[in-house]
Amino acid sequence: MTNDELMKDMDIKKSRCLFCSLGCEVSFRAEGGRLTALAYDQNNPINKGSLCPRGHYNLELASHPGRLTEPQIGRRKVSWEEAVTFLRGELGAFASREIGCLVSCLQSNEAALAAVKMAGRKGIENILSAGAAADLEAYGGSKWQVPGARLATLEAIEQSEALLIVGDLLSRSPVLARRVNQVKYGKRGNKIIVLDPNKTHTSWFATSHLLCRPGTEAIALAALAGAIPFSAAAEKSGLPAAQLQQAAADFKNAASGTVIYVPQTRRLRNDLAVYYAKQLAAGSDHKSFIVYYLYGNTLGVNTVIDRAAPGHPTYHQLLDKIDRGEVKSLLMFGEDISAGHEELQKRFRMLKFVVFAGHFESESPAIYDNSLILPLATQFEGAGSFVTADGQLAVCAPIAPAAGSKTLPEICRLIAEISPAENEASELAVQGPVSQTKDEAEAKAELAALPPLEAAPVKPITYFGNNHLVSNFFWYRVNVNG
Amino acid sequence: MAKRVYLNLDLCCGCRSCAAACAYGHHLQSLLGHSKLDGTAEQPLHCLHCDQPACAAACPNEAMKKMEDDTVLRSQFRCVGCGSCALACPFGVIQPDLFKHITPKCDLCIDRLAEGEIPRCVATCTSGALSFAEVDDQLADQNKNLVSVRILSNFIGKRR
């Protein structure tokens, strides 16, 4: 029996993985409405059946015994009706400017738009996206307009003759290893240039590894793009000028090329680095760039919020407002404070009321003091559309019954009467980031002002975790220590 | 000749998704070990299902057995976790689990083979390094890759 025949015979349900922005398709075997096992469907064009360790978490995410199924006021379990009455009553006690709303970058475009509409109806101005700090910084850079810079497609990556990879791509999205191998072994003379201060799994595949000083990737990229002289970049990045010049020539002379950027926290100014990555790709018709984010729908959620709620505050502005006591209540949609939000966690005691909509119980005990906890449906239980790193729209249909949980648009509807049009969110999301102009001289001045970064001890490479969700999963727990 | 899992180390990115797939397919017990080649490189250790398996010869409880279809399987009920097979294995692919007191051993995903599917580790491989084919075909096909260029060049470069 071939793979095709087998897939036809079985009850196969398909959805998308959101553990990085590559947007792999995940297929499950279903029995009686329950998702029982992973089926590796080799016909899909994105990942050809393969899944990285994080992709396997989707099976657990769909049917984890620790999933929230009932709303909770503190530790007390309540019905949805009681929760909604409590929520409306508590929120009514605050002025609209005293309420903040965070939408996780793991949520769908529809969820982001529903949150924006709900905020608009309630007069809440402090609505913003939340996710990995490096992701949001890199997204900021991708908004800066560079004429001629095009977003790469997966086909463009595998047909490239030169890849310039900034960061540990194969730790972020290991499923791209097949395409990196196609470039490496596809044609004699193909180049894989890796720019990373550490030796990583990705650098194993490099034909030339630019081992720059930590935090100086933006400077090295600016030199490769021709924005600053090689000698100036060599001094700061610690790379020999000749090596930079050779890498720049290799990338320039290749008939086709892709700059792949992986935002990382241990890097200064991800936004500037993305800006220069775009400049490097803008040189030719056959060159393109792509940014692989940590959170699956970083591109979609940020685009929807930027376009539907222009002038919204940034994450740091929200933190300042909490410091000053201007924001007293927080709606956290899909985002937990236990990982990646240390700054928010410090200020958590200053908040009077918090609504936390999530898939699992929070690891932070502080959240149970003054919070309403709502069970949130995953992409398997509620319909939604997502934007992958290459700007494509991925639409997920519900494939499993929601055991007590509700999707974010449903929760927003309970808070305020909203009715977004059917395709409004996906149409907004595919328009891409709002273009902003960046002054070239200003960018160079910011680049020159970058302080030197101390070399940090290299963390053991792990593919097992990337956000607050994964600590709930078996394969993460057995591997996190080694 | 039977089909076996073949590893092309030049393509492997060491992501361990083969081990994850193995764990999720075998009641959260991965039957596939990894060895560290370097600080950043890892090699999955696949059972070769030998023609004359030393593990089966060493097993005091007849838990390891060569089946009719040439696969070497471990009986969960007979295994007492003594680790004799791990000591006997000439390739070091059997790694006893000291906590659970069992010796995990690759079963080539017999449940999937029965359905005509390929083993989970091969299906999930992110880099195309693992393949599942006839041994003779693989040897004929992959002759040029028998020496792993990437690994060798890395180690020779380091030796001074």
In degrees and rounded to multiples of 5, residue B64 shows phi and psi of -90, 130
Residue A462 confidence (pLDDT) above 80:
no
> DSSP string spanning chain B?
--EEEEE-TTT-----HHHHHHHHHTTT----EEEESSSS-EEEE-----SS-HHHHH-TTS-EEE-TTS-EEE-TTT-----HHHHH-TT-----BTTTTB-----TTHHHHHTTPPPHHHHH-SSS-EEEEEHHHHHHHTGGGSS-HHHHHHHHHH--
What stretch(es) of chain A map to CATH 3.40.228.10? 137-292
What stretch(es) of chain A map to CATH 2.20.25.90? 3-62
How much is the average pLDDT of A206-232? Answer: 92
Residue A460 confidence (pLDDT) above 60:
no
How much is the average pLDDT of A15-24? Answer: 93
A282 compared with B153, residue with greater pLDDT: A282
Burial of B58 (0-12, 13-18, 19+ CB in 10 A): middle
Residue A127 confidence (pLDDT) above 70:
yes
Q: What is the pLDDT of residue A481?
A: 62
| Lowest mean pLDDT across A7-16, A53-62, A293-302, A312-321 | A7-16
- Give CA–CA dist A208/A214, Å, rounded: 18
How much is the average pLDDT of A250-272? Answer: 90
Q: What is the mean pLDDT of each run of 10 residues along chain B (160 residues)?
A: 82 89 91 77 84 92 89 88 90 82 87 90 93 79 55 48
Query: Are the Cβ atoms of B17 and A55 closer than 8 angstroms?
Result: yes
Q: Which residues of A touch B16 (CB under 8 A)?
A: 53, 463, 479
- Is the minimum CB–CB distance between A35 and chain B shorter than 8 Å? no
Query: Are the Cβ atoms of A52 and B123 closer than 8 angstroms?
Result: no
How much is the average pLDDT of A90-102? Answer: 92
- Is the minimum CB–CB distance between A34 and chain B shorter than 8 Å? no
B143: closest CA of chain A, how far (Å)? 16
Overall CATH class of domain A3-62: mainly beta
Nearest Cα residue to B42 out of A151, A153, A111, A200: A200
A76 compared with A452, residue with greater pLDDT: A76
Residue of A nearest to B19 (CA): A53
| Lowest mean pLDDT across A52-61, A291-300, B93-102 | B93-102
* pLDDT band per the 50, 70, 90 thresholds, residue A409: very high
User: For chain A, first and last CA: distance in Å?
Assistant: 39
| Domain architecture of chain B: domains with CATH | 1-46+108-160 (3.30.70.20), 47-105 (3.30.70.20)
Q: What is the pLDDT of residue B157?
A: 44
pLDDT cut 70: percent of chain A above it: 96
Q: What is the pLDDT of residue B143?
A: 52
CATH T-level assignment (fold) for domain A137-292: Dimethylsulfoxide Reductase; domain 2 (3.40.228)
Residue of A nearest to B23 (CA): A475
Q: What is the pLDDT of residue A98?
A: 93
A184: closest CA of chain B, how far (Å)? 9
Q: What is the pLDDT of residue B10?
A: 82
- Is the minimum CB–CB distance between A448 and chain B shorter than 8 Å? no
Residue of B nearest to A3 (CA): B117
Q: Which residues of B touch A203 (CB under 8 A)?
A: 40
- Partner residue opposite B15 with nearest CB, options A47, A174, A474: A174
How much is the average pLDDT of A206-220? Answer: 91
**Cross-strand pairs, A14:** A27
Query: Are the Cβ atoms of B127 and A49 closer than 8 angstroms?
Result: no
Sign of dihedral through CA atoms A185, A189, A192, A198?
positive
Q: What is the pLDDT of residue A284?
A: 85
Query: Are the Cβ atoms of A49 and B154 closer than 8 angstroms?
Result: no
How much is the average pLDDT of A77-101? Answer: 92
* pLDDT band per the 50, 70, 90 thresholds, residue A375: very high
Query: Mean of the per-residue pLDDT values for chain A?
Result: 89
Residue of A nearest to B30 (CA): A475
The ipTM (two decimal places) reads: 0.89
Query: Are the Cβ atoms of B126 and A199 closer than 8 angstroms?
Result: no
* pLDDT band per the 50, 70, 90 thresholds, residue A328: very high
What stretch(es) of chain A map to CATH 3.40.50.740? 72-131+296-429
Count contacts between A and B (CB, < 8 Å): 102
- Is the minimum CB–CB distance between B16 and chain A shorter than 8 Å? yes
**pLDDT tens digits for range A343-368:** 888 888 888 999 999 999 887 777 77
**pLDDT tens digits for range A133-142:** 899 999 999 9
Query: Are the Cβ atoms of A51 and B17 closer than 8 angstroms?
Result: yes
Q: Which residues of B touch A176 (CB under 8 A)?
A: 126
* Cβ proximity of A191 and A163 under 8 Å: yes
A248 compared with A4, residue with greater pLDDT: A248
CATH architecture for residues A72-131+296-429: 3-Layer(aba) Sandwich (3.40)
- Is the minimum CB–CB distance between B155 and chain A shorter than 8 Å? no
Query: Are the Cβ atoms of A201 and B13 closer than 8 angstroms?
Result: yes
A453 compared with A135, residue with greater pLDDT: A135
Q: What is the pLDDT of residue B159?
A: 40
A23-32: long-range pairs with CB below 8 Å, 24+: A23/A296, A23/A386, A23/A388, A23/A389, A23/A390, A23/A392, A23/A394, A24/A50, A24/A51, A24/A52, A24/A55, A24/A175, A26/A51, A26/A55, A26/A58, A28/A58, A28/A59, A28/A62, A28/A399, A30/A399, A30/A400
Q: What angle do CA B142, B147, B148 make, to 5 degrees?
A: 95
- The full 3-state SS of chain A, as one line of letters, equals CCHHHHHHHCCEEEEECCCCCCCCEEEEEEECCEEEEEECCCCCCCCCCCCCHHHHHHHHHHCCCCECCCCEECCEECCHHHHHHHHHHHHHCCCHHHEEEEEECCCCHHHHHHHHHHHHHHCCCEEEEECCHHHHHHHHHHCECCCCCCECCHHHHHCCCEEEEECCHHHHCHHHHHHHHHHHHHCCCCEEEEECCCCCCHHHHCCEEECCCCCCHHHHHHHHCCCCCHHHHHHHHCCCHHHHHHHHHHHHHCCCEEEEECCCCCCCCHHHHHHHHHHHHCCCCCEEEEECCCCCCHHHHHHHHHHHCCCCCCHHHHHHHHHCCCCCEEEEECCCCCCCCHHHHHCHHHCCEEEEEECECCCCHHHHCCEEEEEECCCCCCCEEEECCCCCEEEECCCCCCCCCECHHHHHHHHCCCCCCCCHHHHHHCCCCCCECCCHHHHHHHHHCCCCCCCCCCCCCCCCCCCCCHHHCHHHHHHCCC
Q: Which residues of B touch A474 (CB under 8 A)?
A: 23, 28
Q: Which residues of A touch B21 (CB under 8 A)?
A: 38, 40, 51, 56
How much is the average pLDDT of A217-235? Answer: 93
A416: closest CA of chain B, how far (Å)? 41
How much is the average pLDDT of A156-179? Answer: 92
